[in-house]
Amino acid sequence: MSVALNRAESDLVLIVDDVPDNLSVLHDALDESGYTVLVATGGEAALQRAAQALPDIVLLDAMMPGLDGFEVARRLKASPRTAHIPIIFMTGLTETEHLVAALEAGGVDYVTKPIKPKEVLARMGVHLRSARLARQTRNALDAFGYASITVRPADGRVTWQTPLARELLVTYYGSSGPAAPQPVLDWLRRHLADAQRSIEPPRLAMELGARRLSLRLHQQTGDGEEGGGGDWLIVMREVSDAAVIASMSLAFKLTAREAEVLYWVVKGKINRDIADILGSSPATVKKHLERVFAKLGVETRTAAAGMAMNRIRQLHPQFEG
């Protein structure tokens, strides 16, 4: 079965219910309203279909034999591949603790049985519009080569990430999930209040040699709640100063290592720090620096840094010293 044929024209809905009559009523109503519909009669089948087809929304029966709806929702939300899909629970249980459990498991909404198709369609419309806007934003970022992730502040889970973002998280933090790196999560939680008031928080920066990763809190996506609920989109941009180092090497006729030493002098590092960064000794750094002074015709670190900075700004105006 090809479930993606009409994807550009209609939203794909996965209905999960072990009662055939419920499936039939919903299937007919959604089909008449122009949706593409998939069905599953059990939890395991629901997980398989969701992973394969990536529906735009899931209508999920809470109480099913075997794998119940709560566990299905938790597993969908635990996977970066399906975590972004909104889930509406269908339940005959109206006690507060059951409804709270549905939302805690990852549901964005619920409808009570017996199912009223018009109510389901209305609730779906709200959440699909929100999900569509989030998807358009992510697709646009992907198209322009930006690395981005969405993070849920409540539990710190990475709910979505681009392939480039996954690579950058591994490179700079050693892991791409399922939880966000602790420095990223701390930064996000620290600035949530400002972000919710549309005040752009300061960016988070992580350095790795001459490479820098800058993280910007972009916007809240999906269904947010007061107090920081919902997922937040974080856009990452890597800046490498390898081109700056190469330019200094050519401009001042320095060796590659001498240019690296000068680069870190410009960045305000002392010899001991430079030695640690380059994996050499302070004495070796001092020798390189003496040759740099001779080639630049200066006698002090300040003079060398000033001359280098002037040339860098001519060639790389975006450089941050």
List, edge to edge, every strand of the sheet that includes 109-112: 36-40, 12-16, 57-61, 87-91, 109-112
SS3 162: coil
Q: What is the mean pLDDT of the chain?
A: 84
Dist CA 165 CA 194 (whole Å)? 24
Give the pLDDT confidence of 6-62 residue by residue, as tens digits.
Answer: 444 578 999 999 988 888 899 999 999 999 999 999 999 999 999 999 999 999 998
pLDDT more than 70, % of the chain? 88
Q: What's residue 318's pLDDT? A: 60
Give the pLDDT confidence of 93-146 residue by residue, as tens digits.
Answer: 776 777 788 888 888 888 888 889 999 999 999 888 878 777 776 666 666 667
Give the pLDDT confidence of 248-259 residue by residue, as tens digits.
Answer: 888 899 998 999
Q: What's residue 145's pLDDT? A: 61
Burial of residue 118, with CB atoms counted within 10 A of its CB: 0-12 exposed, 13-18 middle, 19 or more buried: exposed
Q: What is the mean pLDDT of residues 182-197?
A: 88
- CA dist 30 to 34, 43, 68, 86, 122, Å? 6, 21, 23, 17, 11
Dist CA 320 CA 312 (whole Å)? 10
Q: What's residue 178's pLDDT? A: 81
Sorting pLDDT into bands at 50, 70 and 90, what band is 2? very low
Q: What's residue 220's pLDDT? A: 75
Tell me: pLDDT of 289 over 50: yes
Q: Picking from 9-13, 91-95, 155-159, 294-298, which range would have the lowest pLDDT averaged per residue?
A: 91-95
**What domains are defined for the chain?**
12-137 (3.40.50.2300), 145-240 (3.30.450.20), 242-315 (1.10.10.10)
**Contact of 204 with 214, CB cutoff 8 Å:** yes
SS3 276: helix
| Predicted model pTM | 0.53
Return the higher-pLDDT residue of 8 and 231.
Answer: 231
